[in-house]
Amino acid sequence: MSKPLSDHDRRKQISVRGLAGVENISQLKLDFNRHLHFTLVKDRNVATRRDYYFALANTVREHLIGRWIRTQQHYYEKDPKRVYYISLEFYMGRALQNTMVNLALENACDEAMYQLGLDMEELEDMEEDAGLGNGGLGRLAACFLDSMASLGLAAYGYGIRYEFGIFNQKIINGWQVEEADDWLRYGNPWEKARPEYMRPVNFYGRTEHHPDGVKWVDTQVVLALPYDTPIPGYRNNVVNTMRLWSAKAPCDFNLKDFNVGGYIQAVLDRNLAENISRVLYPNDNFFEGKELRLKQEYFVVSATLQDIIRRFKVSKFGSREIARTDFSKLPDKVAIQLNDTHPAMAIPELMRVLVDEEKLEWEKAWDICVRTCAYTNHTVLPEALERWPVDLFAYLLPRHLEIIYEINRRHLEVIAAKYPGDHDRLCRMSLIEEGGQKKINMAHLCIVGSHAVNGVAQIHSDILKATVFKDFYEMEPHKFQNKTNGITPRRWLVMCNPGLAEVIAERIGEDFIRDLDQLKGLCKYVNDEAFIRDVAKVKQENKMKFAVHLEEHYKVKINPNSMFDLQVKRIHEYKRQLLNCLFNSFNALSPTFPFMQAAPGYHTAKMIIRLITAIGEVVNNDPVVGDRLKVIFLENYRVTLAERVIPASDLSEQISTAGTEASGTGNMKFMLNGALTIGTMDGANVEMAEEAGMDNIFIFGMRVEDVDALDKKGYHAEEYYNRLPELKQAIDQIAGGFFSPKQPDLFKEIVNMLMHHDRFKVFADYEDYIKCQEKVNALYKNPKEWTKKVIYNIAGCGKFSSDRTIAQYAREIWGMEPTLEKLPAPDDKERLDKTFVCSHRHFS
């Protein structure tokens, strides 16, 4: 049971949690009981904890509705330029606490629940994570939505409402086992279905060429049903929309073809159409050319573009007539941001709509398309780049294949004119890859069809220009930009680490929540004894809380005074969990290190998980090691677990091979929450070192140029194996079955990979990594000096707010101006009046 707030606590928490006025509390209790009664049809005698959660969620949601309607109304009246962020992933996590933080309702709700005899934390724990993403890319999209609303941008997130999100991970006998994530089974109180905006999406069929244009005929139609989720800005009364599409079979699906007795089968076959939005593909950084995945990508793009064009045409507030028909104005009113190549089909689809349906000339349509679209690249790994077989396109999207061929023909003409006789360059830059099975290079399509292309950290953007997209950069250097990723400080500080947020607010005020650069003001407290003590105390409290969670859920007892050393990543060879394994298999120091999930089809990743759990089984039960080292694999990592573990961590492992991690955002979350970083000069680590100071971050290992030099010279793992006795012992233990006595050969293939075909050069950085870990241990024994470095890191986090990232996208790519102005708050009476007079279009 949560205790009522003392006067002192309430004073401390007013700024960050919102004021709990008596009127507020009594109204919230009334609203809560009303929802329990009328929405859930329960009374207190039979209501479950889940019913109470739903009653609270509906109560909080009411405070969003008036603002949501008002915001959409405001956009129709002002007719600003709108940005459409299209992503196949939105890793949102939970909504209840985030909404309370952004609407300043947290204290009032806490007090109301306490007075009703309910525990707020227990209710929050009933909410399912909206796990519609794999990791960084999907969580970035979620942070961006928060920032776009907080900066007053007319923004819409568009994606797919997957029935099953990222799988639930179980570790059984040391092995990963996947279970379906049925996150919607109890319903979702935050979404609103919008059947009136259902859109048809076409697949298959053939094309007919007529004098008056091309027709795509004999298609199979699937309906896209939109579900809207409100996205509240931080205390500015702006509520934007995330619209996720769900696939529905039309009523006549397959029925026109059925023969006598085929009716039942025809109805059952509706599932085939609706499978499009059934499940999130769990592979990140590995491309699988599956038909269902291409269907998903086209499905979201087609439905979204229909919505964008409908909204563009119906520009006048309250009017359903078409007010705009001049498409030359589209780039002035619409910006489309493609989150990686997954929504790349937006480019040929926009061309199809403009040329085939709106009858524009190709040149004019192409100019509009390029000025409207922009592309963010998230990876340099060749196996992650999307390359779709031409045969699959010809079958599934025949008209789009024709359009891509025409885009490519014109593109190659431009190259041939600029670089006459350079046949190799034509081959390298073509959208179509010849040789064996013909494939469409989706990254090339995105670059050619966009006016801006950006990487997500400075080093990543430089690598793109120097290597992967070198030819394109030479031809059109003006297109290429950098937009270093960021994280929202609302979720990743105020919400997940309120103790630290309060300690900061007591020193520099609370405006840093909106303007994270103000954290620089903490530098003047770096030698302040009281501040050092407060920061260390918050960290210790978070660690103790997490230690209790570990004991409850993992049955592992850990010493909260030990260093909490975390590596939180999807399992991939380039992220080098194996480097961490080698260190922990040889050393008995004092970290615990949790990990993340492996894609179900990725065999090596699953073997790496098995190795981690095997090391844990041996180390954690070794009486000689005792409690000096515990190795723990945290199963089913997700946003909600991140919110618990990140505030408790002391050391953040960011140890990818230099030049492989595009940016990383977990690194920023750890830094903001008072962990120090041990890492390579890769991704955003480079900029983190610049912002915090090189003396305040533990950098080790090869730089990008060293990796390149080693590639030229040739990397020979056995040289390091023979030269470094510690490394040799660790490898021999793994190979000899020390960690798997019942199956001595279990990890032979991992050892074989490390010794003979390790693209990511784990051994080359091993020695420097061990030396760096020794420096970490030495500093940790001096808590005061450690905490000073923590303060420098927190003070250097300003750059890594997604507000800064989004302000740069807005000004430098979208041609929009962010604002910190608030919209007027709807009072209760006005909220009711508006609800009754609003036309259906205000949510559109």
Q: What whole-number distance in Å separates Cα of residue 354 and Cα of residue 312? A: 13
Listed residue (242, 111, 404) closest to 843, CA to CA: 242
Listed residue (555, 576, 838) closest to 701, CA to CA: 576
- Kindly report the backbone phi and psi dihedral angles of residue 539, in degrees, each rounded to the nearest multiple of 5, phi listed first: -60, -45
Using alpha carbons, list the distances in angstroms from residue 661 to 569, 654, 724: 11, 9, 27
Helices (H), 796-827: 802-809
Catalytic residue among 665, 677, 787, 805: 665
Angle between helices 783-795 and 685-692 (to 10 degrees): 110
Active site residue 42: no
How is residue 510 annotated by DSSP? S
Dihedral sign computed on CA atoms, order 495, 500, 506, 507: negative
Catalytic residue among 575, 630, 789, 799: 575
- Residue position matching structure tokens 């909600």: 640
Q: What whole-number distance in Å separates Cα of residue 646 and Cα of residue 493? A: 10
- Kindly report the backbone phi and psi dihedral angles of residue 216, in degrees, each rounded to the nearest multiple of 5, phi listed first: -100, 115
Q: What whole-number distance in Å separates Cα of residue 632 and Cα of residue 220? A: 50
Amino acid at 607: M
Query: Is the separation of the CB atoms in 98 and 496 below 8 Å?
Result: no
Active site residue 241: no
Query: Is the separation of the CB atoms in 270 and 244 below 8 Å?
Result: no
Please state the length of the chain.
844
Query: Is the separation of the CB atoms in 522 and 791 below 8 Å?
Result: yes
Q: What whole-number distance in Å separates Cα of residue 280 and Cα of residue 293? A: 9
- For residue 566, the surrounding DSSP H or E stretch is strand 565-566
Residues 6+ apart with CB under 8 A from 161: 132, 191, 227, 244, 245, 246, 277
- For residue 248, the surrounding DSSP H or E stretch is strand 239-248
**479 CA to centre of own chain:** 25
Catalytic residue among 479, 569, 572, 630: 569
Query: Is the separation of the CB atoms in 241 and 231 below 8 Å?
Result: yes
Query: Is the separation of the CB atoms in 94 and 124 below 8 Å?
Result: yes
Catalytic residue among 70, 82, 378, 483: 378
Active site residue 569: yes
Active site residue 359: no
Query: Is the separation of the CB atoms in 456 and 376 below 8 Å?
Result: yes
The DSSP line for 76-100 is HHH---EEEEE-S-EEEE--HHHHH
Q: What whole-number distance in Å separates Cα of residue 456 and Cα of residue 474? A: 20
The DSSP line for 382-442 is GGGS-EEEHHHHHHH-HHHHHHHHHHHHHHHHHHHHHSTT-HHHHHHH-SEE-SSS-EEEH
Catalytic residue among 451, 539, 570, 761: 570
Residues 6+ apart with CB under 8 A from 731: 582, 721, 751, 754, 755
Catalytic residue among 669, 799, 804, 842: 669
**Beta-sheet pairing, 155-160 with 239-248:** parallel
Using alpha carbons, list the distances in angstroms from residue 245 to 198, 202, 376, 539: 9, 15, 22, 41
Dihedral sign computed on CA atoms, order 216, 219, 221, 226: negative
- The helix/strand/coil state of 714 is coil
Report the first-to-last Cα separation within the chain, whole angstroms: 42
Active site residue 712: no
Active site residue 775: no
Query: How many of the other CB atoms lie within 10 Å of CB of 741?
Result: 11
Query: Is the separation of the CB atoms in 394 and 421 below 8 Å?
Result: no
Positions annotated as catalytic residues are 378, 569-570, 575, 665, 669
